[in-house]
Chains A and B, each alone.
Chain A
């Protein structure tokens, strides 16, 4: 079973800062099968990035994804007030979905 870990657990930042979130897989993941979500309290997750680097419909271009193999990154170029939330990576491997434990981005 492939496990996802995310770092940092919490990222304290200010509006306007650049945020870099990491997702590491215990086994190599095809880029096709790596996604990122944003979740705010009381809401369903929102798909941000699919296929490791493709922005989902309606997602601002300040969000970008990169990486391959076992190391993936979500970058928010300039944090807006609405970006403070929890971010999850997700993989699809051998017909099984796995989510990472999340990175909480909070206001410093």
Chain B
């Protein structure tokens, strides 16, 4: 059973960079055939995919966020990270990490982590 846990600062100032980590247990990012991703949900609003990757393969990003987003992996810690630069209040959201063996949906989800952008 794959378990995902998001962590990071819950408060980020406008114009700064949001950084979150998703720690994975029950699966190895580098050895298991899973796709890994980030999705966010502003309070009371819809789900928005941020980006996904397959270890050893490509990383895809939401075109609307691509210029500000990067996803990286630390296999020694079995976690992957999200960086979103130049944040504004519109980036306030619950951020989820998720995964699946399929490229096209997500079965495993973290519990979500609220990040607020405010001075």
- Residue numbers of A with Cβ under 8 A of B are 1, 32-33, 35, 37, 39, 43-47, 50, 56-57, 88, 90, 92, 95-102
User: What is the chain A residue whose CB lies nearest that of B49?
Assistant: A97
A-B contact count (CB 8 A): 58
| Contact A50-B48, Cβ < 8 Å, known A44-B112, A56-B107, A95-B60 | no
Of A43, A92, A99, which one neighbours B47 at CB under 8 angstroms?
A99
Per the CB 8 Å criterion, the residue count for chain B at the interface is 23
A43–B96 Cα distance when bound, in Å, is 10
Is B102 on the interface with A (CB-CB < 8 A)?
A: yes
Residue ranges of B at the interface with A (Cβ–Cβ < 8 Å): 37, 39, 46-49, 52, 60, 62-63, 96, 98, 100, 102-107, 109-112
Residues B106 and A47 in contact, CB atoms below 8 Å apart: yes
Identify 20 residue pairs between A and B in the complex whose beta-carbon atoms are under 8 Å apart, listed by A's number.
A33-B104, A35-B104, A44-B109, A44-B111, A45-B47, A45-B106, A45-B109, A47-B105, A47-B107, A50-B102, A50-B104, A57-B107, A88-B47, A92-B105, A96-B63, A97-B52, A97-B104, A98-B49, A99-B47, A99-B48
